[in-house]
Structure 1
């Protein structure tokens, strides 16, 4: 666990964010008392497109066959 005071956190914010993203527990203290814990944000999977529509099968993203490619030429 890493605890830093507010002034050090302000001066080293980018480093502290990177450490928290890697899973290190980072606390910011005021007058020696921990008050805030930095944690990575939960990432939601990206949605394909912006409209609701049919589910896209995984096979959609597979390489095309030679015959399929020839049909597009």
Structure 2
């Protein structure tokens, strides 16, 4: 399907539906084709992908760090000779 820019602006929803249905939609400036409207590939995105997995309990980020961990975060910690 070849349409000019004015028609594309007024009938964009219909053109999108046509592209989603697999139709080749080309928008032209005058008689020169300039843009092809194509549907984006729809992946099978799944929310809750790890819902059924046994992950165990993770770290409790709301608990205070012990002195050793706090020292490591603050740039201290054990000295190492290399």
When the two structures are superposed, what TM-score results if normalisation uses the length of structure 1?
0.63
Across the aligned residues of Structure 1 and Structure 2, the Cα RMSD in angstroms comes to: 2.3
Q: Deviations over 1:1-20 (max 9, x none)?
A: x1001000000000011011
Q: Distance in 2 between matches of 1:39 and 1:52?
A: 34
Structure 1: tracts of 5 or more residues without a match: 55-73
Q: Distance in 2 between matches of 1:7 and 1:15?
A: 14
Larger proportion of helix = 1
When the two structures are superposed, what TM-score results if normalisation uses the length of structure 2?
0.56
Q: Which has the higher contact order (CA 8 A, sep 6+)?
A: 1
Which contiguous aligned blocks of 4+ residues in structure 1 show a shift greater than 6 angstroms?
Answer: none
Higher-Rg member (1/2): 2
Residue 68 (structure 1) aligns with: none
Q: Distance in 2 between matches of 1:7 and 1:34?
A: 13
